[in-house]
Amino acid sequence: MPWVQGLIKPAASRSSNLSIFNTNCNYTFFFQSRMEVIAQIVLQNLNSFAQEEFGIIWNLKDDVQQMKRTVSAIKAVLLDAEAKTNNLQISNWLEELKDVLYDADDLLNDMSSEALERKVRGGSILLRRVQIFFSQANQIVYSYKLGHKMKAIQKRLDAIAKNKNTLQLTELPMETPITCREQRQTYSFVREDDVIGREEEKKLLKSYLLDTKVSVIDNVSVVPVVGFGGLGKTALAQLVFNDNAVQRYFEPKMWVCVSDEFDIRKIAEKMIGNDKNSEIEQVQQDLRNKVRGKRFLLVLDDVWNEDRELWFKFKSLVVEGGNGSAIIVTTRSRTVGKIMATHPPLFLKGLDLERSWKLFSRVAFDGGKEPNDWELLAMGRNIVQKCAGIPLAIRTIGSLLYSRNLGRSDWLYFSEVEFSNIDQHREKIFAILKLSYDHLPSFLKKCFAYCSLFPKDFVFDKKTLIQLWVAEGFIQPSRDNRCEEDVGHEYFMNLLSKSLFQNVTSNDYGDIVTCKMHDLIHDLAQLVVGKEYAFVEGKKENIGNKTRYLSSCTSLHFSKKTSSSSSKLRTVTLLGQTLYGSQNLGQPLLHFPFLSSIKRVRVLTLCGLHIITLPNSIRELKQLRYLDLSKNKFLVSLPPDVTRLLNLQTLKLSQCGKLKELPSGINKSLRHLELNDCGKLTCMPCGLGKLTNLQTLTHFLLDCKSKNGDISELSGLNNLRGKLVIKWLDSLRENAAVVESAKTLLEKQLLQELELRWWLDVKNSFGDDPIQERFEMEEESRWFSENEKILLEDENMLASRNEMKKDEKILQGLQPHHSIKKLVIDGYCGKSLPDWIGNLSSLLNLEIRNCNGLKSLPDGIRYLVSLQRICIYNCPLLERRCARRYGEEWSKIAHIPKVVVSPFSPSALRYIN
């Protein structure tokens, strides 16, 4: 899945015609990114300083302690400050604080990187001291500079801390939710004619409520309606609540707007109509008496509580209701739906274009009747399309147009100009969406805001998004020692559960691979980021001194004027014009001198820029954690100085078709190395086996030239996960016995997919004429049935007996962990497969390709009850023996739901079709 799907627009300055609202409006007070997470990161860095860092500059320990005290004091009032961002002075105070905290974090990371670099230089302590003293980074000069920067930042922090008293900011516990917003209230009544386009959803929800055959625990059915703000969850619940059949079926019927706090006492009081503030004991007795033995209907509208125990406590008060009682829960949280549901949740989606138009016509035209003006109708449909199926947006815009009684020329002006400058009505819509953002913890707010850097309708790759969050430092340390990627997965699922992501796709194992973000939610993310994000078009230089995240799809020319601003950048994303249809092949979009001005960058994406090589100045990016060079089809090599990027975690080189080699000695911090479609790459760098933190290694290439491959480099890489392709296994034949005993892959229990490829991987196994060669193979196969012994010795058809035995030893030694889910064996020359295949209890998919000598499958396959699919391609001997019902091997695979046996592999079919 390509990471780059489209043009990146600026978060703080862009105005898209796909957007309902202009993000340039000054709504900083309305959406303010909380800085607790930045302050927390600074404190964590201060707390984690080791002796090496303290040794860099004099008196550092005292400076660190002073900065910790100041940041802690400021952090304590952040919640109060962010609840008062409608005050311009406080809003400016927060912006100043954000800037200095970023600078502090950059400086602390610089110091840690310097200490790490000194540590890895090697040699004795005396030698290191001599090297440092006589190097350009003279210790005295460097210490002086660092000390000066440290004191300058402390001075700025002191001023900010002093101003917090002037602004009368008070300490609040950070767990307290923001309470300055107006409490949302809803009620049960709605006219049926007012709800448009939800007929199917109403029918489904009614079927759940009125199903007399359904059997549920405790007599009470619970049906969640899930979706983000503005989709009409409450309207749907109102529609069903007031339906005549529902009204007759249930008694009593109760409606409670829960909103922020799931207070059992308050909910119970609303259910029984008691506002006397009675004791909880009396309230619970009255509630149980009200529902006991009665078939009741309860709507809990706008539920946010994700505390399962709290839900169980409430449910215990209503389980005495009569059989068939039901509760409708409306929520934005998938987690809430999962906790409460006894029925599958109803996930509400936006209206399609026709239903959107019907709703728009109802509110925008007199009596809901369309005018006899096709131009006006065309403009109206264009406006409706921009509302993206959100009922709240459609109603708001339609009502505005109706109230202004606009003519055709006014509609045209509104559609093309005024539509993106709505203030009053925009606030009404975003006031609802804002609740989703407010309920996020601060660390999730940063992750959510980061998504604004990508365009609308962008397909997010979940794994890549998490890697970016990790590189940016958004992931909090785990108390249970989980890796940052696993915590990032939890963050992603949390955002998904809040309906902030949608349109997810999953792989064969049920793991989410991609997702999208709704246009309105994307608008929300744009409003959050403020001045931290920027977009550069052409030669325009709009990099402000507060910009930390930059994206562009064209050349960048950093002048002296912008060099100081660009020095603060943490993300630089440059996307090649070829990704958008440009035919200017060979014209590089990147001017490398800019690298010297972005020394604090953590994420550097240089996709599709026709780069041939990188300059050695890449070594100056000491904070770099994420480097994406994908789709640079002219890239031949990487400079050796890439190995000096001691913080580098992710290196993406997929679709670099001319890349020939990787530098040796890649640093141990690397976690992800992607090498898909690197056809010229022939071997792995020396020292790869030392990268014990490596989680992603898409391809492991044995040295096919030396015929003496070393697979032992994989032995220590037991943190590998996802998919691994091992190529040119025939180079191991001289060491087959060693491979057999090594069991290199057995401990890699996080690996999901494994592909084992022999020499047939190097060239098309069907030669220049696949149809003719297949015909000859069929003829030989018929002859084989009568002359098996002769055929085995035919070197044109099968490998020698010696190679067969060696390959069988190699495959025996490549036994994976039993948790593997997909196994591909390609070009193997053995006669039989190892028995360990029968022990792969989690195996879902088995592919066997281009194995001309393979005659049989292991008996253990018949016991793999989890196996869902087996594919056998271009294996002539096995193909005949696996013939459906009549083949000798058929009984071993008859239980598998999908069996594919074909003379051609899918890749070969392209030559025929």
CATH code of the domain covering residue 755: 3.80.10
What is the pLDDT at residue 415?
Answer: 65
Mean pLDDT of the chain: 79
Summarize pLDDT for 90-145 with one digit per residue, the tens: 888 988 898 889 888 888 888 888 777 777 665 444 445 545 544 544 566 666 77
Beta bridge mates, 573:
551, 605
| DSSP 3-state percent helix, strand, coil across the chain (nearest 5) | 45, 10, 45
* Residue with token string 């950059």: 106
- The answer to whether residues 311 and 420 belong to one domain is no
| Helix axis angle, 424-438 to 519-529, nearest 10° | 80
- The answer to whether residues 70 and 115 belong to one domain is yes
Q: What is the mean predicted confidence (pLDDT) over 650-659?
A: 94
Q: Which two tokens stand for residue 17?
A: 């015609």
Q: What is the DSSP string of 312-349?
A: HHHHTTTTTBPTTEEEEEEES-HHHHHHH-SS--EE--
Q: How confident is the model at residue 667 (pLDDT cuts 50, 70, 90)?
A: confident
What is the pLDDT at residue 784?
Answer: 43
Taking 50 as the threshold, does the pLDDT of residue 787 lie above it? no
What is the pLDDT at residue 611?
Answer: 85
Residue 860 located in a structural domain: yes
Residue 908 located in a structural domain: yes
Integer angstrom CA distances of residue 101 from 94, 339, 474, 542: 10, 39, 14, 22
d(CA 128, CA 123): 6
> Which position has the higher pLDDT, 383 or 247?
247
Q: Length of the chain in residues, anyone?
A: 913
Q: What is the mean predicted confidence (pLDDT) over 400-416?
A: 65
What is the pLDDT at residue 216?
Answer: 65
Q: How confident is the model at residue 683 (pLDDT cuts 50, 70, 90)?
A: confident
* Residue with token string 């006219």: 191
Q: What is the mean predicted confidence (pLDDT) over 20-45?
A: 57
Taking 80 as the threshold, does the pLDDT of residue 584 lie above it? no
Last residue of a domain, one of 404, 429, 454: 429
Residue 178 located in a structural domain: no
- The answer to whether residues 337 and 362 belong to one domain is no
d(CA 459, CA 456): 9
What is the pLDDT at residue 418?
Answer: 56
- The answer to whether residues 162 and 207 belong to one domain is no
Selection from 534, 575, 569 nearest residue 554 by Cα: 575
- The answer to whether residues 451 and 416 belong to one domain is no
Beta bridge mates, 757:
826
d(CA 832, CA 804): 9
Last residue of a domain, one of 347, 369, 404: 347
CB–CB of 201/278 below 8 Å? no
Summarize pLDDT for 496-544 with one digit per residue, the tens: 878 788 888 889 888 999 998 887 788 888 877 777 877 665 555 556 7
Q: What is the mean predicted confidence (pLDDT) over 651-674?
A: 91
What is the pLDDT at residue 798?
Answer: 45
- The answer to whether residues 197 and 289 belong to one domain is yes
What is the pLDDT at residue 372?
Answer: 80
What is the pLDDT at residue 431?
Answer: 65
| Residue 848 φ/ψ region, left for φ over 0, alpha for ψ in the -120 to 50 degree band, beta for the rest | beta
Residue 99 located in a structural domain: yes
> Which position has the higher pLDDT, 504 or 462?
462
CATH code of the domain covering residue 483: 1.10.10.10
Domains identified in the chain, total number: 5
Region of poorest pLDDT, from 207-221, 309-323, 679-693 = 207-221
What is the pLDDT at residue 471?
Answer: 95
What is the pLDDT at residue 658?
Answer: 92
d(CA 23, CA 16): 9
Summarize pLDDT for 142-199 with one digit per residue, the tens: 667 777 888 899 999 999 999 888 888 888 765 443 333 444 566 565 666 667 778 8
CB–CB of 721/752 below 8 Å? yes
Residue 376 located in a structural domain: yes
- The answer to whether residues 223 and 325 belong to one domain is yes
Cβ contacts of residue 579 below 8 Å, gap of 6+?
Answer: 4, 553, 607, 608, 631
Q: Which two tokens stand for residue 200?
A: 């199917």
Summarize pLDDT for 341-357 with one digit per residue, the tens: 888 899 998 888 888 89
d(CA 801, CA 817): 29
- The answer to whether residues 321 and 229 belong to one domain is yes
- The answer to whether residues 75 and 52 belong to one domain is yes
Taking 70 as the threshold, does the pLDDT of residue 23 lie above it? no
Domain span at residue 133? Answer: 34-167
Last residue of a domain, one of 527, 549, 573: 527
d(CA 837, CA 816): 9
> How many Å separate Cα 340 from the centre of its chain?
26
Residue 709 located in a structural domain: no
Summarize pLDDT for 728-746 with one digit per residue, the tens: 998 898 888 989 888 899 9
Q: How confident is the model at residue 426 (pLDDT cuts 50, 70, 90)?
A: low
What is the pLDDT at residue 407?
Answer: 65
- The answer to whether residues 405 and 489 belong to one domain is no
d(CA 812, CA 794): 25
- The answer to whether residues 361 and 336 belong to one domain is no
Cβ contacts of residue 759 below 8 Å, gap of 6+?
Answer: 704, 728, 730, 827
Taking 80 as the threshold, does the pLDDT of residue 837 lie above it? yes
- The answer to whether residues 813 and 872 belong to one domain is yes
Integer angstrom CA distances of residue 285 from 12, 272, 289, 290, 300: 55, 10, 6, 9, 20
What is the pLDDT at residue 362?
Answer: 84
Residue 481 located in a structural domain: yes
Residue 543 located in a structural domain: no
CATH code of the domain covering residue 341: 3.40.50.300
Q: How confident is the model at residue 34 (pLDDT cuts 50, 70, 90)?
A: low
What global pTM score does this model have? Answer: 0.76
